Structures are given as C-alpha cells and as structure tokens.
Structure 1
C-alpha cells in the first residue's frame, strides 16, 4: 500500500469526468439509492482516497460522492442539496466473469480512461484490504480505521458480500465478523455506532458489541462510514422465523415473549447509559401536532386513508388532552426502527437486536432525539401484523396473540406493561401505521392493504 500522503486522489474535474457518465446510469439502479424517481442532474466529489493504487493491476478508490437531484421530476423544481453516497470502486483492465454483476462501466475519459470500474465489495481482494485496514487501525488520507483493542481481528478471514440488504451493504468475514458499510452518509455522531458502543459499555448482551469502525474526517466533521461487529453464525432473523412458523401453523407466542424481554433489556440499558428527559405539556403537544401533520399529509398522498382520518386523529387528540391535564412521560434513546427483521435469534434461542440506524429517511439529529420507548414497541406490534398478512393462511388471532405475548415479556423485565399506557401506545402505533400507508403506496402498492387494515382498526379504537 502507498503511504498515506499518496493516497488522496485529487478531487479534480478530471477524476469526476471519468466516473460521471457511468454513475448516472449505475447509481439510480442500486437498491440503496434513496433518490429513485428523480433524475440525477450532476455529481460533486466530496473526497476520493486510493486504498490500492489505480495504476496497478487492481486499483481501489474510496469515494464520497454527492448526487444532485431536483425535489420532484419537473424542470422548474428546486435543486436538492444532494445526498452523499459512499462507494468503493475497483479499477481493473477487464472484469473476470465472476464479477460481471458488479460492473459499473468502461471508462472513456479522464485519468481512468481505458479501465473498467466496478463495485469493489463483490471482489475478495478489496474486501480484504478494508478488513486489514480495520485490523491495523490504519489512517489513509482522511479515512480513519478504529477498533476495540480488547477484541482480536484475525488476518486472512475470507469475505463474502451479503445480497439481502436494502439501504446499506454488508460483508461477512469468515463467519466471524460482519461489516455494515453505510451507503448514504451524513456527518455527525451516528446511532448505529453510538448506541451499540453505549450498550457494550453497559454490559448489555443483547446487542453485538462493535469490534471496529471506519470514519472520515472532512472539513472539521466526522462521518461514520461503517461498523464491524461479531457475526452471529446460524442466527435467524425474526421476520424469517415468524414466517417459517406461520407456514407450519405453529404458535409464535413464546418467541414473541422472549423478544419482548430482549427489547426491555435494551431499553433499560439505554436509559441507564444515556440521558433521559421528561416530556411535559409543551413536548407532548408538539408531538401530537407533528403526528397530526403527518396524518394530514398522508391523507393528501393516499386518498384511501380519508375515511379513517377522523378516528386516527382522535388518537393524537387524546394524547394532547392528557398532556393538557399535566401527564408526563419519560423519553430516552431507543432503537428507532424496531421490527422483526431487526432481531436475530441464535441457535441457543438468545434474541439480539441489530441495526440501530433508525429510519434512514429522517435527519440524523431527529434520529438521535430521546423518544418514549412506546415508539419501538409500536414498531414491533406493527411487525407482527405484517407477518400475519404475509402468510397464506395465518391461524386466527395469530398477530393479536404475538402482540399480547410481546407486551407480557416486556413487562416481565421492565416492570411496566405497555398496554397499561394505552393512549401513548395507540398514538405511536397510529403514527407508525400512517407512515406505512404512505410508504407502501409509493413503493409496494401490493402491501397497502396491510397498513390500511391497521388504520381501520386503530380508527375504531376508543380513546382511553
């Protein structure tokens, strides 16, 4: 590897000219590209760093690239400031057949003219370079690779790219570690590193402790790029497990109860490790107003929600009424996007929670705000509903049984059953269902009946 001083590729128009026409075609096709439906009008290079020299037989460039898009696909639309994406670009004379799915394109201009560029995470050698940088705590240009000195990273672990993720990319190393590489990145403290580190310090066994992490120091700000954690070999994610049990007609209540216990353990540890706040009347009235605003937007976007809007709005009105009476709640750091797919059960039966990124569409500052734990609980309750609807013939009452068992398990650890606070829980679940209605209408219309069914049920609920 070259010295750090030689690793930073000049952020010149020439380098961008090599990549621009190819990335305009390739980037919008990636599952993790957030700006689908809007044309890319241009790129700006935030940083480019050589991890393997591009003049060699195999080059590797780490690229942070901002993609500029209009807010809506209209000529007069204002320009979006541009999401920043992390790319690991491999450079070869030609790609071997095994790397055909990774092809970005053949460069016809600029300093990489005549070379072939591709998504390097598909390739063994570039993935090994990243792990070695983490193992050795390398510093390359503006990139900094850090690790927990108490955890060992063995050299020579064989990498393989996982293909199931949507918003990021993951590489498994020898069934020992998994590297989650964030694709859309923002500067600042990232919850996907911050919260697992806090839980590790608190001794919480429910979340794999970060082994190493990768950051960029740019213009006085730190950008978290990726996190390496132990790989839970043989673990099944909760969504797959629930669907498997549903297909067999098996009860899932025992697993749901254990999952409730795991959630409560994580919430308890987070409340002990990080500051909590009391939500008084002003906070709660703003929360209810924001929920109402999201509902109004959803009704305009998805007219099928209109018949349920008055009933749904009553959930938020009830929350605001309790706030006006002087009721308060405690808020703390939470998972932020909890559902069955964010939970892993090991072969021993132990449940773990993963992916503390929160909802990627929300600003980072909002994702780091303390929230009532009911936010996470509502997300999991909605996930049981989704699983039941995904099955061909779910047993009657399957979702309701799971929801009850999950709350029971949560109460066994926390001492507080979420169902004893029905106004807050209903408001949070309603807010989640409204979000799901808009998401499914835009991205998965076939799934729209699932949150609409929940909206009908929640609208008919009596305000407590």
Structure 2
C-alpha cells in the first residue's frame, strides 16, 4: 500500500469513532497506525493494519483494520470510506476492505491453501472443497463487536476487530467441539492468525453457514407478539407458544456444556474462589448504585443474596462455558438449536474469557434473555396491566421450560442450586441496569423489576 502510517493516522483517527465495533467512543486518546501484513499484493492492494489507541487514562486497545487503496473514488464504497490523501499523482482513496467484494475472496483462498507468510498463518480445518472461494461476500449488519462476512449460504467469516494477544476462545472452543462432532455448534472451517514480535494474535475464523436458521431473539419476540394479540388466552393456549422451543433450547445448552466438560478440564471452585466471586458481585452492585439510584431500595436484599452465595455449602463445579449466552446467541434451524459466538464478553481480557466458570452463569444469562423477550413489548406500549401480566406469564413459562429441558438432558436441575443461580442472575441484572441507564433508559424497568423480585425472595442456604 502506498499510504504511510503518517498519512493514514489522521484518516483513521476520524474514522474509528464512527464504527459500531469501536469501544472507545467518547474517550480522549491518540491513535498510532502500523502495517501488519499484506493480504492482497495485486492491485487493488489490501493491507491489514493495526490501530493502537492510547487513551488519556493510559489504557490501550488495538484494532484490526483491513484496508484497500484505490487510485479512483468508488462510489459503491462511499459508506466505508476511511478517507483520501494526496500523493504525487493525485488523490488516493482508502476503504474498509471487508466491504470490497473485489478483494474479500482472498481470505478464503488463503485459508483453503493454508498460506504461510512471515506474519500470517491461514489454517484450513475442513476439506478444501468446503471453502467457498468462488462465492461473493456480504457484510452482515447485525454484528456489533466484530465484522462478519457471509459467502452465499456456505460460510461466515468473522473478522475480530479488537485484538488481544493469546488464544481466542471462539476459535478454541469451535475447534474442540467440531473435532468432537458436536451437534449444537457450527462447524469450524478455517482460522487466521498472526505472529508479531513473538506474540500470537488471532485475526479471523471461518464457519459453516447455518441455512434455514432463525435468530432465537426474533423467534421469542414473535411468540410474545402472538400472545399479546390473542385476547384473553394464556401463554400455553396461544398459537405462538414458545415453551416447546425453550425446552429444546435448554437441552441443547446442556449438551454443549457436556461437550465442553469433556473437551476441556473441569474443576471445583474453592471456598475462597466463591467468596472472591461474591466480592465482585458486591463491588459491581456498589458501583451500580452510583449510576442507578433506583437500586437503593433493593440493594440490601441483593447484598444478602450475594452473602448467601459466598457461604455456599455445596461444591460449585466450574468448566469452560459460553460466557455471554442469550437468545441472540442461538439459532434455530429446521433440525436443531445451534449456539454461536463463544467469544465470551467481548471487552474482557482473553485470559478472563478462557477461565473456567459455573454453567449457572450461562443459564442465568438465558433466563435474563427470556425476561427481556417477555417484556420488550411493554417498552413500546407503556405499562398496561393486562400486557404486563401476559409478559410475566410468558417469561416465567419459558424460563421454567428452559430449565426443564436443561435438567432432563444434564440429569441435574439448575433450579436446585437456587442461591447460586439467583446470585448469577442478579449479578447479570445489575450489569443490565447500568447499561440501560446509560444507553436505553426506556428499558431500565426490565432489570429493575427483576432485581426487585430477586432481592425479595427468601434466601435458603
């Protein structure tokens, strides 16, 4: 690429804050732009750059920027224009290369051929015929923390935007479960990694595309809309009853947890580790109180719950888990539920995302998601007593069905670990309250109502 780091820096500095996957919006800092490796040497050339963002508080984030340089403006790429700079022959135009269909086949060709360079390593985890190198790409708009490209209905390439040194859990887990032939995950087809100054970075992963798949969140919302349009019918009587699917989803999650337990090590949290986890819950609640004053009334009950969790008498098994499980992370195909995105909490450090944890954390995340799905309609309609009753009924029915499906598959019922499960759910809801207060105030009543319920339930150790 003709552009130098000095020429790109001001362009990237202005462009980064406009990207939905950039986590530093509103934070002051400086940007350094460094070339990582050439992806396409022919014209138009594609270079993978890294943007190192140093914030005023001293923290640092590194982002991956595949950029394509053209000697003429391409109006079809105006929506991903990083900027233009002047060289001796006129303007040179820089675009986000992941949106340029003329060059995106290079990722798949290199995976198929397992290309190795000084810095890049492309790995094929499937047969060469399974890599759809001749299919056009389409960027998926739903992705928020990464950029994903769909190649017809064959494969999805997820390009990680924020880079951290180490093993990415999404690739690690999919590789392990694909090798086991796990039914409820998408098969890993390929991956891309880089070696820089002795450190390992994972840049992208290629997976099979799940045809006929529908997002679990959208299915759940449709069920709620069907119920609320059904007059006086109860949730189990409405045509769009979701409980059967919720039960099957619970069984699928339990099966994935079982596969993870075999593929990776399992352990039991020590009493000290449980108390440390409880201390983190207390600290998160104390911070939330400074942001969401509405939590004052329920704080004593939540602290009592976290204290009960700290004093658990029963062992707390831990293992590799999903780490960020909700209805938006599952797909329903005509054959089965498929769980996606094992990346964990995107903003957490890789070491934390790979750390063994309780499966109850995943279950609590899904229970929170059913709560949101059941009540989302009230955000649009405002509080209507009949609709609120229906929302509660739908959420409770599907939360219970999910746990029933999980229990039948796992041969143990998570509801029997009531203190720990409630503590994980309350911890998640505290996080939600802070998020909603800052970003979606109209949604704040959902976690507040849940926290009121969780705080008032009698603690039984």
The answer to whether TM tops 0.5 is: yes
Preserved CA contact (<8 Å) 1:51 1:140: no
Offset at 1:41? 2.1
**Aligned ranges 1:34-433 → 2 under 5 Å:** 34-45=23-34, 47-53=35-41, 57-70=43-56, 78-80=57-59, 82-108=60-86, 114-150=91-127, 152-249=130-227, 250-322=240-312, 326-348=313-335, 350-392=336-378, 393=387, 395-396=390-391, 397-433=393-429
Q: What is the CA-CA distance between 1:122 and the residue it aligns to?
A: 1.2
Cα separation, partners in 2 of 1:113 and 1:421, compared to 1, 3 Å: farther
Q: Provide Cα deviations, 1:88-122, integer angstroms capped at 9, x if missing partner.
A: 1111122322211111111136x997200011111
- Whether the 8 Å contact between 2:132 and 2:151 is mirrored in structure 1 is no
Deviations 1:49-100 (A, max 9, x none): 22234xx641211112211222xxxxxxx322x2110111111122322211
TM-superposition CA deviations, 1:299-329 (whole Å, max 9, x none): 122222222111111111111222xxx4311
Shift of 1:444: 2.2
Distance apart, 1:208 and its partner CA: 1.0
SS at match of 1:84: strand
Q: CA deviation at 1:44?
A: 4.6
In structure 1, what is the Cα distance between the partners aligned to 2:55 and 2:150?
33
| CA contact 2:8–2:33 (8 Å) conserved in 1 | no
Contact 1:235 1:344 in 2 (8 A): yes
- In the alignment, the residues of structure 1 paired with residue 142 and residue 25 of structure 2 have an alpha-carbon distance, to the nearest angstrom, of 19
* Alpha-carbon shift at residue 407 of structure 1 (Å): 0.1
SS in 1 for 2:221: helix
How has the CA–CA distance of structure 1 residues 273 and 52 changed in structure 2, closer, same or farther, with 3 Å as cutoff? closer
2:382 paired residue number: none
Quick one: distance in 1 between partners of 2:112 and 2:84?
A: 33
Aligned equivalents of 2:143 and 2:86: distance in 1?
32
Is the Cα–Cα contact under 8 Å of residues 274 and 332 in structure 1 kept in the other structure?
yes
Q: Is the 8 A contact 2:9 2:33 kept in 1?
A: no
Cα separation, 2, equivalents of 1:215 and 1:113: 35
Q: Is 1:88–1:119's contact at 8 Å kept on the other side of the alignment?
A: yes
Contiguous gaps of at least 5 residues in structure 2: 228-239, 379-386
Output aligned runs, 1:11-26, within 5 Å: 15-26=4-15
Aligned residues: 437
Q: Per the alignment, in what secondary structure is the counterpart of residue 358 of structure 2? A: coil
Runs of at least 5 residues in structure 1 that lack an aligned partner in the other structure: 1-8, 71-77
What is the root-mean-square deviation in Å for CA atoms of aligned residues?
A: 1.8
Other structure's SS at 1:140 match: coil
